[in-house]
Structure 1
Amino acid sequence: MACLLFGLVWALCYSHWQLTWLHSPDLFQRSQLIAGTVERVQHRESGASRLIVSLKSLNGQVLSPRPRVLLSWYGQSGPPAVGDKIQSVSRLQPPHGLLNPGSFNSARWLLGQGITARGYLTGTLAHQAADASSRARLVQHIAAMTTDLPARRWLLALSVGDRSGLTDADWDMLRGLGVSHLFAISGLHIGLVAGLGLLVGRLSGHRLPAATVAGALALGYAWLAGFSVPTQRALLMLLLWLGLFCWGRFWSGRRLLLLTMTLLLAVMPWLALDMGFWLSVLAVAALMVSAGWLGGQSLWRLQLGLSLLLLPLIMLFFGGISWLSLPINMLLIPLFSLLLIPLLLLACVLVLPVPTLAMVVLMLLNGLFEPLMSGLHWLNDSLSPWQTLSARAQGGWLLLLLLSFGLLLPRARWLPALAIYLILLQPDVIEQKKQPRWEVRILDVGQGLSVLVTQGERALLYDTGNRFDSGFNMADGVILPLLTRLGIDELDYLVISHDDRDHSGNRDYLAASLPVKHRRGAWPDGQHCRAGQVEPWGVLTLRMQWPLTPSGHLNNDSCVLHIGDGTLSLLLTGDIEAQAERGLLATGQSVAAQLLLSPHHGSRSSSSAAFNRAVAPDWVVHTAGFANRWGFPSAEVVARFEQQGVPQLITGEHGMVHLVADGQHWRLTLSRRPGPWYQRLNGWLTTGGSSAKSLE
């Protein structure tokens, strides 16, 4: 207990120490002059590269400790290399991520990597290239020798840890088949190299030479891979075990694992936020458990136990399972361990002394990798083994797995009867639970708009958020994970307010990804919006109130949709501005609604006083991205609603806004940005936003 309390105190002190620099005056309000060293470069298939930079100074003031920042590179020339010293002007933001159920938590990921701010730069004021290190020269030789090989991206990923060449299709295949771990140099690879070293070293008949050879080979491979974080974890545990091996002592695997975790968390407590850290730790723990329970003598038993024990974690972390993962890993792990990785390491060793022989080995590997990876792509494309699961399905699988594990306990014969009782009871519980007539979720899609209206499993989606040149899009990042979590596999309506990309960017992609019964608005082949259209939808009525003449190309042509059940109502306004607001009021239609999405994300060109009075909302939501460059919502707009006494929420600060129809009123499910402290980091770094003030 004393060690636990000491660890918590140390983690708090460490966080305060690392985050103090974020209190610099006007750090996030204006551009800053930064100077630092590039630690890592993440090349992208398209769009900007990303640099992880260790800052030496900010506006000429030396920083201690040196913070790490993630910067997007938009320069015309190539980005700086690892080790280069740069001086540049950058616009910074605190760690912040989109907050929606089922979405990737980038705020946690950033702090888990020790990154305390992010930003962008378009060029450098000064650039001092680093002297090429021995590793850099070796990597350049390997990259040059594999330039013309079709399997180059796979060879570089396995040899030097460079996975920048992998395409989106490659990542989909690796996830779908559950083999991503084979191309992330970590415990499997380090352990394999060390095992080869022990076999060679034991020829001497002594422990010390065997441990020395094993440690040297493992260090060499970790060095070649750039000492990535997973590699460091595996290397530390291996070196501890080799030290005990030389000392002639025996420690249990549990004790070794706990000591490794203690040392890593003591050096960097924020690793506790890194999902990869816990996956690797729990994978080792699962391996130990399966070795103890299943005998540990055969590979298939170890793999079976490991897969079953990690299945709940994979479901919770990634929202699905791959039904092909177990048989594919049973085939690939021996192939990689006994053939592909040893050959690749042999080629790396021969690159400088005997390049001709190294090239022969690389060509042999290319001949092996090409048909192998093509076959894996075919399997993934043909069988689609990755199955995303709704929250209810995940709960059912977890119950089944817990029941299976429970049956291994002594005197557990009563568990099947309890499970059957719970399964039979479940429909009654669901039936008795009061279901809301309808719900509205205003999604956190950055600077853009997407609103999901649901009646049970029936859904209407209004706008789709943005799609970026880098490949990231709000459909894959936010909308589809949420629909899957809710168990919704089709849309009754997909309404596109107008053609701006932050509203329509994922229109065609979503239509190709799931069935859409009715397409409304800015569609090439859908029904255009026109004032006066009325459609019943379950207990709700859909009333199109604008535009008078269909177009869909301009802000003022946005579809204005009124949704109501006779008691509560919602007004979706797209990007209309004051001119369209006046035109809408002039038609004489009632625009009154208890819930309003402010027009044009809260721009001062919209939300005129007359329009606000006519709507008379109980709630207003501004769909504005965090720290957006336009300053949405405008201070003028916020002030107008404050004068009316209307509570206001901003998706960029609050995250997804979820309101439930509750009798005569809308009920907000969460009154503040949910989650742990790092989700609200900007709340205590700044003076607080207008949304927080309005809620208070």
Structure 2
Amino acid sequence: MNGYIYGFCACLLSSLLWPALFAPWTWPILIMVFVISRKTSGFFCGMLLGALWISYCFYSLFNQHEPAMTQHGEFTGQIVSLVHQERDWISFDVKVIDPQFRLFPRFYRLNWREPLPLALGQVWRFNAKMKGITSLLNEGGFNQQKYWLSQHLVARGKVTEASLLNKSQSLRQGLQERLSPILMSLDGGDILQALLLGDKKGITPARWQDLRRTGAGHLVAISGLHVSVVFAAVLLLSLRLLVLGYPCESLRNWVVAMGIALVVVLCYGYIAGFAIATQRAVLMLLLLVGLSLLRQFSSPWERLIWALCAVLLFDPFAPLSAGFWLSFCALSIILLSVTLDKVSGNAQEKSHDATKQTVIHQEPASAQWASFGIIVKRVPWREKLDLWGDSLKHFAASLWRIQWRLALGLGILQLLLFGTAALHSIWLNLLFVPWFSFIVIPLALLSLILWLVCYLGYWLMLTLLAYGAAAVIGLSRFIDHEAHFFQPDFLHSLSLSPLLSLDGFVNTQVISAFARELSLSLGPKLFYVAELSLTPFLWILDASKHLPWAEFSLATFTLAQVILALIGGVLLLYQRCRLWQIMTMSLCLPLLFTGLMALSSQLGFNRLQDEGVTETDWQLHVLDVGQGSAIVVQQGKYGLIYDTGAAYGLDFSYAKRVILPFLIARGISEPEYLVLSHDDNDHMGGAKVLMAAFPSMNVISDIARFADETCRQAPFSWRALTLELMSAATEPKDNNASCVIRIGNHHGRALLTGDIEALREFKLLQQGVPMAAEVLLAPHHGSNTSSTAAFLQAVSPYSVIFSAGFANQYGFPKPQVLARYQSQGIERYSTGELGQISVDFSPSSIRIRGYRTERAPFWYNQVFRFGSSQKPE
């Protein structure tokens, strides 16, 4: 049986590296192979089951409904989560109510501008403009498409019309509506709301930045830590009470305490919204408790594998989530630490036993003193004090060993998953994790329980009194005193009259309003201690802004070198042969060489490195920024940025979300030029972000408020490349005023055109400027107003790249434009289809690679279509 489990888990974990899943026509073949080999290799059969399971789950979600749903879809859905809300629009998730049976329900993420009042649990009939979950894909950037898939979201859309079918409110929604105003009135209310309700909408971007900087983001996301703390606290408390009240020698109290703890954990998970991470934590806990109650003989590692198998069976897309890897790696590190401590403790125990045997053969000190007539009395309290001191030292030492291993291991994992790590997370989490486990979480839950008791008790008391008063009035009617007792003046003279309507019936809305007012006035006082426990945590978060080297980022190639060095270091610990030790040490050489080069650059010995740039190849990266433009030209660690993509609102910009992470991932530490083609948001929206990040960067543009230099200048050399600028600042139309650049060397050239249209293309031809280039960035994203036949003949490119969003509302690139390029035999690429597009210029060839097809050709990075959206120009 273990072979099946190991194979099943290994298959689903390795699915992250698969280029595609097994299509439905291959499933009978997989089943046939499984039947044939079921008695020969359990591990192989487990892998077959894993491949069949994840393929079936994927196609049950994505393959069946794509042809049926049109561009405008009409469906019934239940609101399961309110994601984000601004003044005039809201983003929320719905579970599609499908009349057909589906093993996995479908979830859609919808946006609604100027919505009607929404609440969790409501059922609506939606008419929405739908599209797939395909999102931006760039090197170093956040893979939102992978995240959506891990959350079982299969489509997104914009609501155009909706009608409410069922307005029943869930218990959790009612609790959240009453508790959120109380929590958000406190200084640390956003953290408490995340801990108790699983609602992180109240956490500001600045607070999230502080949490990432300190590596404490996992503390506010309800996961295995919180579920384990709640389970352990309730288990110990209930077991203690049962032992005091109903002592017995059997396992009855232990089983009852476990049952009580599981019920409380399930209630906590429900209040927290049962997010995917919470579901995994509860499922793991249920399985571990079940195996413990069955008293099945198994090691902790085997139980962890069983829990892993259960999670993967329940959610085969779990490995797509970073939280999955963080939680299981944390458990593995804890188990490894406990195992190592146990081995060390056994060795120390043997040594202690040997010492004890030696002491037994010696004459006791008390007997020696007795020979002189002195009697030595033993002091019991001192022995207990020493015992408590030894236990405390042992606990502190064990906690320290577990904590530094957790911080180091999870820091490395975070570096591998996100490319960044918080350097101060080791010592900060050494403070935060015990503080949250033993202080903050218990106090927050205790405050919640007290608030619930007060709120429900007051509501119940008012309800009983109101029904009592209603009974008195009903009785007065029965005994025919209605004329006296039921006069309005008599009713208003009763102190309970607000709880009753004029006809003498109970007014439940008024009772709820009274209970709510009491909770609003009493709630902050009940949560005062919990808020006070967060004060040190919030103080350290605020102080983290001034910590040096708070965040550590690595380029992709440096990250690969770190992985090789880690593998070499682990193998070196287990090798005894001198030859194998030398071979494993060689894995550390790439990282050592990179470190020496970085050190020499910092010390000023970088002349050879700078000169070496003139001999290296260069790359052109067209980033996927939706319906916009952002291009990075790379020469080693030096870069030139052409356009920045769009920016929206106060916080969002593609420069922050895409360009900056890309520069870190590619190791471009010194971008020297920023060229802004023209004054459109989709081309220069992120200029301020980049200028703030790199103050010494030179800005070239005809936009006066940004420019250090204009586009009206002669060709000049930038390291190994030549830049030819073609300005048209006098053009009356903004698109035609785009700054056109031809950049390259003898390896090849690229023409970057901005949003120029047919008139500007004609003027460039009249001016006779050299425009021939092997690679062309399509003018105006592939609009019908650009890419004239004469212009294409003058440029004569081998390839054209369209910087256009997937299924964008304008329908770029237009079919007529694509046909024009095809008629001239020009290869066509689009960022909406391929994600980031990178062009490598070398003496031997020009190679073009798409992120989806070559850089990260995994099944979860494919294009998930849901119809195309087009709008006339």
TM-score normalized by structure 2? 0.73
- Which of 542, 545, 549 aligns to 1:377? It is 542
Q: Deviations over 1:55-97 (max 9, x none)?
A: 225xxx8685675343342322466221111122212112212
Residue of structure 1 in register with 2:193 after alignment: 156
State the AA in 1 paired with 2:653: N
- Give the Å deviation of 1:561: 0.7
| TM superposition shift of 1:189 | 1.1
SS of the residue aligned with 1:354? helix
Distance, in Å, in 1 between the alignment partners of 2:860 and 2:666 is 26
- Cα distance per residue 1:334-378 (max 9 Å; x no partner): 111111111111111111322577643302222332453143122
Number of aligned residue pairs: give it.
Answer: 679
Question: Residues 21 and 469 of structure 1: is their aligned pair in 2 closer, same or farther, counting only changes over 3 Å?
Answer: farther
* CA distance, structure 1, for counterparts of residue 330 and residue 191 of structure 2: 24
Question: Which of 213, 220, 225 does residue 260 from structure 2 map onto?
Answer: 213
Cα separation, partners in 2 of 1:672 and 1:349, compared to 1, 3 Å = closer
Shift in Å, 1:550: 7.8
Structure-2 residue corresponding to 1:537: 718
Aligned counterparts of 1:65 and 1:254: Cα–Cα separation in 2: 30
**Equivalence for 2:226:** 189
Counterpart check, 1:633 vs 2:813: yes
| Cα distance in 2, alignment partners of residues 435 and 289 from structure 1 | 49
Partner of 1:167: 204
State the superposition RMSD in angstroms.
2.9
Task: Tell me which residue corresponds to 1:693.
Answer: none
- Per mean C-alpha deviation after superposition, the further-off stretch among 661-670 and 635-644 is 661-670
Displacement of 1:147: 4.2
Within a 5 Å distance, the mapping from 1:140-539 to structure 2 comes to 140-203=177-240, 204-205=242-243, 206-295=253-342, 298-355=398-455, 359-370=524-535, 372-409=537-574, 411=576, 417-418=582-583, 421=586, 436-469=616-649, 471-521=651-701, 522-527=703-708, 529-539=710-720
Q: Where does residue 125 of structure 2 map in the other structure?
A: 87
Code of the residue aligned with 1:612 in structure 2: it is L
Matches of 1:411 and 1:433, distance apart in 2: 42
Partner of 1:97: 135
- Could you tell me how far apart the structure 1 residues matched to 2:587 and 2:533 are? 51
Cα deviation, residue 14, structure 1? 2.1
**Alpha-carbon distance in structure 1 between the residues aligned to 2:267 and 2:781:** 54
The one-letter code of the counterpart of 2:55 is L
SS in 2 for 1:43: strand
Pairing partner for 2:64 from 3, 16, 21: 21
Between the aligned partners of 1:46 and 1:456, the Cα distance in structure 2 is: 45
2:738 aligned partner, one-letter code: S
Partners of 1:529 and 1:135 in 2: CA distance: 59
Compared with structure 1, are the counterparts of its residues 139 and 422 closer, same or farther at alpha carbon in structure 2 (3 Å cutoff)? closer
Q: 1:566: Cα distance to partner?
A: 4.2
Is 1:661 matched up with 2:761?
A: no
Q: Distance in 1 between matches of 2:445 and 2:297?
A: 30
Equivalent residue of 1:327, what SS? helix
Ranked by relative contact order (alpha carbons within 8 Å, sequence separation 6 or more), the top structure is 2
Q: Which residue of 1 aligns with 2:735?
A: 555
Q: CA deviation at 1:395?
A: 3.4
What displacement does 1:389 show?
1.4
What's the CA shift for 1:530? 3.9
- Rounded Cα–Cα distance in structure 2 between residues aligned with 1:422 and 1:150: 50
**Residues of 2 paired with 1:129 and 1:489: CA distance?**
55
Match of 1:8 among 41, 44, 51: 51
Question: Which residue of structure 2 lines up, in the alignment, with residue 55 of structure 1?
Answer: 96
Q: 1:644 maps to which residue?
A: 824
Q: Name the larger-Rg structure.
A: 2
User: Does the Cα contact within 8 Å between 1:556 and 1:576 map onto a contact in 2?
Assistant: yes
Secondary structure at 1:120 match in 2: strand
Task: Answer whether contact 1:489 1:514 (CA < 8 A) is retained.
Answer: no
CA deviation vs aligned residue, 1:644-689 (integer Å, no higher than 9, x gap): 0110101110111111112264222459724212322447x889xx
Give secondary structure in 1 for the equivalent of 2:82.
strand
**Is the alpha carbon distance of 1:610 and 1:625 closer, same or farther for their aligned partners in structure 2, counting shifts above 3 Å?**
same
Deviates more, 1:111-120 or 1:365-374: 365-374
Contact 2:569 2:585 in 1 (8 A): no
CA pair 186-250 structure 1, distance change in 2 beyond 3 A: farther
CA deviation digits over 1:390-434, x for unaligned, max 9? 224323433443344345436377777556655557759999999
Q: 1:250 and 1:128 mapped to 2: Cα distance?
A: 52
CA distance in 2, matches of 1:130, 1:271: 32
- Cα deviation for residue 480 of structure 1 reads 1.1
Give the Cα separation in 2 of the matches to 1:103 and 1:362.
39
C-alpha distance after superposition, 1:167-186 (max 9, x if no partner): 11111111111111111111
Q: Is contact 2:624–2:835 with CA below 8 Å preserved after alignment?
A: yes
Which residue of the partner structure matches residue 506 of structure 2? none
Kindly state the Cα deviation for residue 324 of structure 1 after the two structures are TM-superposed.
0.7
* Structure 1 Cα separation of the partners of residues 844 and 583 of structure 2: 41
Q: Rate the CA distance shift 1:544–1:126 in 2: closer, same or farther, 3 A.
A: same
**In the alignment, residue 287 of structure 1 is paired with which amino acid?**
I
Identity within the alignment, %: 32
Compared CA separation, residues 631 and 160, structure 1 to 2 (3 A): same
1:290 maps to a residue whose letter is S
Contact preservation (8 Å) 1:448, 1:624 = yes
CA separation of 1:424 and 1:150: change in aligned 2, threshold 3 A? closer
Query: 3-state SS of the aligned residue for 2:191?
Result: helix
For residues 570-585 of structure 1, what are the structure 2 equivalents within 5 Å?
Answer: 570-585=750-765
- Partner AA of 1:517 in structure 2: M
Question: Is the CA contact 2:96–2:107 (under 8 Å) kept in the aligned structure 1?
Answer: yes
Contact 1:37 1:55 in 2 (8 A): yes
- Contact 1:55/1:66 (<8 A) preserved: no
Over 3 Å counting, the alpha-carbon distance change for 1:325 and 1:671 in structure 2 is: closer
CA distance in 2, matches of 1:435, 1:300: 51
| Conserved? CA contact 1:46–1:469, under 8 Å | no
Distance 2:718 2:867 in 1: 43
Matched-pair contact (CA < 8 Å) for 1:294–1:302: no
Aligned to 1:677: 859
Q: 1:221 to 1:486 in 2, by over 3 A?
A: same
SS at match of 1:383: coil
Q: Which amino acid aligns with 1:18?
A: L
Q: CA deviation at 1:586?
A: 1.4
Consecutive unaligned residues of structure 1, counting only runs of 5 or more, are: 688-696
How far apart, CA to CA, are the structure 2 residues paired with 1:288 and 1:45?
A: 44
The correspondence for 2:749, drawn from 569, 572, 597, is 569
- How big is the shift at 1:526? 1.5
Shift of 1:102: 1.0
Which has a greater percent of helix? 2
CA distance in structure 2 between the aligned counterparts of 1:327 and 1:424, rounded to whole angstroms? 29
SS in 2 for 1:348: helix
Cα 1:408/1:419, change in 2 over 3 Å: closer
SS of the equivalent of 2:317 reads helix
Q: 2:466 maps to which residue?
A: none
